[in-house]
Amino acid sequence: MSTKDIEAEAPKPPRLKNLLVDPSLKVQPEIHVPEPNFGWLSEITPFREGTFLHPVTLNPDIAQETYRRAGFRLKYSPAALKSILDHRTIILEYDPQGFVWVRPLRDDPLREILTDWTFKTYVIWSPYYDAYRLRQAGSLEFAKRAFEHENVRTLLRNFPGQEQRLHTIRAGGKVNVTLYPFQRKAVQFILKNDGRACLFDEMGLGKTISATTALLELVRLGKAHRALIVAPNAVVDNGVKS
């Protein structure tokens, strides 16, 4: 038997019937198939009077594969695909308190957009805030890739646009204050310990002046370049003037 004969006898794959999802999300032309033969198709698409309706949150990839198994080739009009994409869009919103909130762009339940595995892996309900958030803010990139792998578009909101550049401290020529002997002693103590020190002087004895003087001296010596200063508003001017 020749190769041509073998190819002639080989069963040809069934010809798929083309279907189109129109802007109303109806599948056209209408499909009339006995319900027992629906199989997996009936589990993901409602059936009303011979017409399949495309759930707006249904993953297009899953829909196309399911219809293919049922013998149909599914296509989408641009308007239908845009509508589905809008409903399959999730907003990840940054909260300075340390949370990343997860919200659908449209009024759709998240469970209808994400698979059960992705939902349980990355999303958690916060009863106090009455909203969904990522289980860990640090999983943002992993969650974003997982969502997009499921054909879910992700929009980032209120995230810092770029890393802020920190300014480097430059010490002036000299400190414009005259330190008392006990303040000079405090500054020497701080410098001796390379800045790893605490001052517990009584209120009004010039802890701000002593600490600022020591900081500027550490900068001049090349032992410090940046500083985080946590202070009440009442003493901010003291640090600036010194």
Residue 228 has what pLDDT?
A: 77
* CB contact set of 192 (below 8 Å; sequence gap of 6+): none
Residue 159 has what pLDDT?
A: 86
Residue 208 has what pLDDT?
A: 82
Domain definitions of the chain by residue range = 16-84, 88-157, 181-241
Indicate the SS3 state at residue 48. Answer: strand
Of the candidates 148, 84, 108, 35, the one whose C-alpha atom is nearest the C-alpha of residue 75 is 84
Residue 110 has what pLDDT?
A: 94
Measured distance CA(140)–CA(87) in Å, rounded: 21
pLDDT tens across the length of the chain (242 residues): 555 555 556 566 567 789 899 999 988 887 665 554 556 676 677 776 667 788 899 999 988 988 888 888 999 999 999 999 999 999 999 988 889 999 999 999 999 999 999 999 999 999 989 999 999 877 899 999 999 999 999 999 998 764 445 566 665 656 677 888 888 888 888 888 887 888 888 888 888 888 888 888 888 887 777 777 777 766 555 554 54
At position 26, the amino acid (one-letter code) is: K
Residue 144 has what pLDDT?
A: 94
CA atoms within 13 A on the CB side of 29: 4
* CB contact set of 61 (below 8 Å; sequence gap of 6+): 151
* CB contact set of 83 (below 8 Å; sequence gap of 6+): 23, 25, 56
CA atoms within 13 A on the CB side of 62: 19
Measured distance CA(41)–CA(20) in Å, rounded: 16
Residue 173 has what pLDDT?
A: 59
What is the model's pTM?
0.58
* CB contact set of 168 (below 8 Å; sequence gap of 6+): 225, 226
CATH class for the region spanning 88-157: alpha beta
Q: Which helix (H) or strand (E) holds 7?
A: helix 3-9
Cα 88 from chain centroid?
A: 15
